Amino acid sequence: MSNKIKYPFFVFNPKSYLYGEELIKLAKRADKLASKYPECSVLVTVPFADISAVKNATENIIVTAQHMDGIRQGRGIGHVLPESIYHAGARAVFLNHAERPMTVAALAQAIKRAKELGIETIVCADSIPEAKAAAIMGADVILCEPTDLIGTGQTSDSSYIEQTNQAIKEIDENILVMQAAGISTPDDVYRTIELGADGTGCTSGITNADSPADMLTDMIEALVKAYKERG
């Protein structure tokens, strides 16, 4: 499988809600869906300690780390070495998430190290100026997510989605734009892709569902359907 993220793409980001066997079970479901819909990329974000186990249990998803630091081998206890997540099987990484913010200098260094190793970067931005800065730094994917909407079940409005898409594509049309604020239902996924996002994702809408596996399935199916209908 290619480690390059293609669109449309879906990111299942269980944060610290899941680990171990429960996480592997859902990662396997995501893997089946990625095999069924090869026209899209399915990413699963996992805690550092689970990267290797999830990688070994799957073939088609892009295993994604929650963070890494722009350090090199040597000193740096307690930091996340890019080579270590790559060795464990991660081929993409979240950077500058609202729950793990980075300084501009640290972010630029982490993006640079990711490029050296062939790790795809998903850089979070909570405003249009921040999204533009991430585009200039060379992010592969920019997650445009107003921090105050995270976990609220309230999605970004269409004008915000259109403005951020335009601002990023003007800098580099190859950067993929992810819109995922407040995504909690398959309808939210459908609407977000219909409005022009390259990808979306979800956390609590899946982890808190009566059947997380069914919700994950319904969301990925909504993504594929919206993208096909968008043409």
Cross-strand partners of 193: none
User: Annotated catalytic residue: which of 39, 59, 97, 194?
Assistant: 97
What is the C-alpha to C-alpha distance for residues 145 and 125, in angstroms, rounded to an integer?
A: 6
* CB neighbours of residue 63 within 10 Å: 26
Assigned token pair, 176: 């993929």
Out of 67, 99, 145, 162, the active site residue is: 145
**Please, what is the angle between helix 128-137 and helix 158-171, to 10°?**
30
Burial of 144 (0-12, 13-18, 19+ CB in 10 A): buried
**In the annotation, is 67 catalytic?**
no
Query: Are 156 and 183 within 8 A, CB to CB?
Result: no
Which residues are known catalytic residues? Answer: 97, 145
